[in-house]
Amino acid sequence: MAFTKKIMPALAAVACLGVSPALAEGTVTVLSPGGTVFAGGKAALWGPAGEALGIAVKEETTDEGLPAVRLQVGAGNVTADIVFLADYEGELGGREGILEPLDYSVIDRSKFLPGTTSDYCVGVYGYATVMAWNTKTYSGEQPKTWQDFFDVEKFPGRRAMRSNAETQIEAALLGDGVPAAELYDVMATDEGLERALNKIRALKPHIAVWWSSGAQHGQFMKDGEIDMTTGWNGRFEFARKEGGAVDYTFNQGILATDCLAVPKGAPNKDLAMKMIAEMSNARSQAEMSKYTNYGPVIPEAFSIGVIDSEAAKVLPTNPEYSDGLIIQNIGWWLDNNDRVKAMYEDMMTE
Amino acid sequence: MSASATSAGTVPARGEGRLTGIFGPSLRPYLGLMPGLAIVFLCVALPCLWLLYLSSFDDAGRLSAVNYERLIDQVSYRRIFVTTFLVSAQTVICCVLLGVPLATFIASLGRRSAALFIGAILFPLWTSLLVRAYAWLVILQRNGLVNNWLMSAGVIDEPLPLAFNTFSTVLGMTHIMLPIFLLPVIGAMRDIDRSLIRAAASMGASRTYTYRKVFLPLALPGIVAGATLVFVMSLGFYVTPAILGGGNVQAISMRIARSLSTYSNFGAAAAIGVVLLLSTLALLAVSLLIRRLAQGRAGGGHA
């Protein structure tokens, strides 16, 4: 099983090999997820960047970025130069020593939203964990904050939360009145964690479902199975577009990113750094957002006239939402993941 | 009861015949078994040993019992084991309650109509587990068929909590397991010598008495076999509890999947697998013992 899990993405990647004609500078291989990210990446990110620099781009796709890098580095046969990772994977890969430190003398870090770049991975788009509610159930006053999410007297109804502690601990503490600025200080203490778990314990009689995938919570909201849930902004936007009685708020949304990294021992490491620097600009990220419901992590992307105000409404990194947006502390999760998830599962099965 | 003595007497006799074959002076039958045994070793025993091997190292690759200690220290593991065994037991009970009368009925039919019914039972087996789980969701969820009917008929004012709990999980699992339970039971019931039933009737036993005292005991080995099969398969169920349990029913298989996908901790997952395997073997041993005892009692009755 171990091997299938690691080899399948690699095989899938090989199957999807696509090569653009090489001209001058050399070639870099980009390993990205498929679907909308691939379409947007080709049109807005590596496509234009490769043309501008005269670098040919070889494309491979996988939905398991980090396992693919582990496999390549472990086998001593690294073919990918640039890889798309979740920020959590970027941090983990850096600690495992399978990623090159990024060269921030080439890549301009200053234009990014704070907290969306790290030593090993530079943000490319962001998505948020937000709360969504059924607009028929709550036709009068709409919930606005995580405190409303946990307030079953003011907003009675069926709730759903994630069957995985990640982002739910943050939501619970915000729901218990912890200010965003102190969130990770409170989470650093055992009392803080217990406080978060107790908040969810108190809500448990109203939690009808513990969701485990984005498809699931999107469907629950569209079907009216659940009155209020935590989940990912793109799924709720989709449910709303499909005609579901759904609304959501970016207020106190918890932002995570996908990011670009360079595997340790990448064959064209220096070109990869140049490519990442070239792709990391406001226009590219703005164009990219047209393909996905993910938001640019370079704030300037919203002010160059590429994203109109209507389209900007559904993007979590819209500067208009920035006061309420919380950037997830990925390092904290990496340090505490196992312990917190075990505590969460104990609470869930009580 | 002299007639049943003959039948009970023939069972061990047949068994003895096999035994002499295996333990006889010639080893030749063994040679024929070798390719089969090799496949069993490669496909069953070796992976199990590999699992055991994987589970005995910690994250840093040192030999350690940490994966097993975690199973004891973290309460959720114990709860998940209890939940899985309870849900499996409930599925077995539902299968027995529904399956035994149905099997009795089918076994009493002529060949042609029995074949028709068995075909009807087997038919759902060809449908994907996933589709069947989602179909139940469509029926059971808050705006599902059942709740909508009951609400519009004025039977209830509030939707009933039918989905995402133990009830829906057991229902979905019973739906999938019933055919698997029925097949060995129908087989066992068809093999029952009809003259025994007639003999009981001729000696004045009522129909219920004959069913209870003659028919059911003779069908018992088949029922135990079917129940054991259902139980063991239920322990490893993933899709049905994951969809119909909605996170409120945590099965062992779901925890194993999570250990692999979110923690990529093969040691932890392997340890759960080993414990599950051992507890399943223990249960099988108990079931075998019960069967032996049942057969022994049936045989001892006429001595």
Question: Residue A141 pLDDT > 90, yes or no?
Answer: yes
Complex prediction ipTM: 0.77
- SS3 label, residue A297: coil
- What is the predicted pLDDT for the residue at B262? 64
Range of the domain at B164: 2-300
Q: Could you tell me the CA-to-CA distances from A74 to A12, A190, A265, B60, B133 in Å, in that order?
A: 18, 37, 11, 16, 40
Q: Let me know: does A253 contact A324? Beta carbons within 8 Å.
A: yes
A349 touches chain B (CB under 8 A): yes
Q: Let me know: does B235 contact B85? Beta carbons within 8 Å.
A: yes
Q: CA-to-CA distance for A342 and B253, rounded, in angstroms?
A: 16
- Is the C-alpha dihedral spanning A243, A244, A250, A255 positive or negative? negative
Chain mean pLDDT for chain B: 85
Among the ranges given (A21-30, A57-66, A204-213, A334-343), the one the predictor scored with the smallest mean pLDDT: A21-30
Q: What is the mean pLDDT of residues B229-238?
A: 93
Give A-chain residues touching B142 at CB under 8 angstroms.
Answer: 158, 224-225
Q: Let me know: does A328 contact A254? Beta carbons within 8 Å.
A: yes
What is the CATH superfamily name and number for domain A128-255+328-348?
A: Periplasmic binding protein-like II (3.40.190.10)
Distance from CA of B188 to the nearest CA of A (A): 38
- Report percent pLDDT > 70 for chain A: 93
**Structure confidence at residue B60 as a pLDDT band (50, 70, 90):** confident
Q: Let me know: does A55 contact A275? Beta carbons within 8 Å.
A: yes
Contact A224/B246, CB-based, under 8 Å? no
Question: Residue A291 pLDDT > 60, yes or no?
Answer: yes
Q: Among residues A175, A162, A318, which one has the least CA distance to residue A235? A: A162
- What is the predicted pLDDT for the residue at A10? 47
Q: In chain A, which residues fall in CATH 3.40.190.10?
A: 2-126+257-319, 128-255+328-348
Give B-chain residues touching A209 at CB under 8 angstroms.
Answer: 164, 246-248
Contact A224/B143, CB-based, under 8 Å? yes
Pairing label, strands A55-61, A18-19: antiparallel
Q: Let me know: does A87 contact A68? Beta carbons within 8 Å.
A: no
pLDDT digits (tens, 9 = 90+) for B149-183: 999 999 999 899 999 999 999 999 999 999 999 99
Contact B143/A223, CB-based, under 8 Å? yes
CB atoms < 10 A from the CB of A147, how many? 14
- What is the predicted pLDDT for the residue at A270? 95
pLDDT digits (tens, 9 = 90+) for A210-229: 998 888 899 999 999 999 99
- What is the predicted pLDDT for the residue at B7? 43
Among the ranges given (A136-150, A259-273, B61-75, B182-196), the one the predictor scored with the smallest mean pLDDT: B61-75
Contact B76/A212, CB-based, under 8 Å? no
Q: Looking up tokens 């199957």, which residue turns up?
A: A15
Beta-carbon contacts of B217 under 8 Å, excluding residues fewer than 6 positions away, are B294, B298
Query: Which H/E stretch holds residue A175?
Result: helix A168-175
Distance from CA of B262 to the nearest CA of A (A): 9
A210 touches chain B (CB under 8 A): yes
Taking each helix axis from N to C end, the angle separating A330-348 and A168-175, rounded to the nearest 10 degrees, works out to 80
DSSP assignment string, B141-165: STTSHHHHHHHHTTS-SS----SSS
Contact B247/A212, CB-based, under 8 Å? yes
Give A-chain residues touching B247 at CB under 8 angstroms.
Answer: 163, 209-212, 348
Beta-carbon contacts of A252 under 8 Å, excluding residues fewer than 6 positions away, are A130, A145, A146, A174, A180, A324, A326
Q: Looking up tokens 């088949």, which residue turns up?
A: B222
- What is the predicted pLDDT for the residue at A24? 54
- Residue A76, Cβ density class (10 Å: 0-12 exposed, 13-18 middle, ≥19 buried): exposed
Question: Residue B13 pLDDT > 50, yes or no?
Answer: no
Q: CA-to-CA distance for A16 and B147, rounded, in angstroms?
A: 47
pLDDT digits (tens, 9 = 90+) for A59-91: 999 888 898 999 999 999 999 999 999 999 999
**Structure confidence at residue B25 as a pLDDT band (50, 70, 90):** low
Chain B contacts in chain A segment 221-280 (CB below 8 A) = 223-225
pLDDT digits (tens, 9 = 90+) for A298-323: 999 999 999 999 999 999 999 999 99
Q: What is the mean pLDDT of residues B133-161?
A: 92
**Structure confidence at residue A22 as a pLDDT band (50, 70, 90):** very low
CATH assignment of the domain containing B70: 1.10.3720.10
Higher per-residue confidence, B273 vs B290:
B273
Question: Residue B121 pLDDT > 90, yes or no?
Answer: no
- What is the predicted pLDDT for the residue at A2? 44
Question: Residue B16 pLDDT > 80, yes or no?
Answer: no
Distance from CA of B165 to the nearest CA of A (A): 9
pLDDT digits (tens, 9 = 90+) for B197-211: 889 989 988 889 999
Domain A2-126+257-319 matching CATH 3.10.20.310: the answer reads: no
Task: Find the closest chain B residue to A67 by CA distance.
Answer: B264
- What is the predicted pLDDT for the residue at B297? 65
**What six digits make up the tokens of B45?**
């025993």
Question: Residue A20 pLDDT > 70, yes or no?
Answer: no
- What is the predicted pLDDT for the residue at A16? 44
Chain mean pLDDT for chain A: 91
Q: CA-to-CA distance for A106 and A255, rounded, in angstroms?
A: 26
Number of domains in chain B: 1
Nearest to A209 among B76, B164, B258 (CB): B164
Nearest to B246 among A208, A337, A338 (CB): A208
- What is the predicted pLDDT for the residue at A150? 98
Q: Let me know: does A344 contact A105? Beta carbons within 8 Å.
A: no
Contact A1/B250, CB-based, under 8 Å? no
**What six digits make up the tokens of A99?**
């990623």
Question: Residue A244 pLDDT > 70, yes or no?
Answer: yes
pLDDT digits (tens, 9 = 90+) for A42-62: 999 999 999 999 999 999 998
Question: Residue B302 pLDDT > 90, yes or no?
Answer: no
Contact B75/A349, CB-based, under 8 Å? yes
Q: Looking up tokens 């002076």, which residue turns up?
A: B25
DSSP E strand boundaries for chain A? 18-19, 26-32, 55-61, 82-86, 122-134, 159-162, 207-211, 228-232, 246-261, 326-327
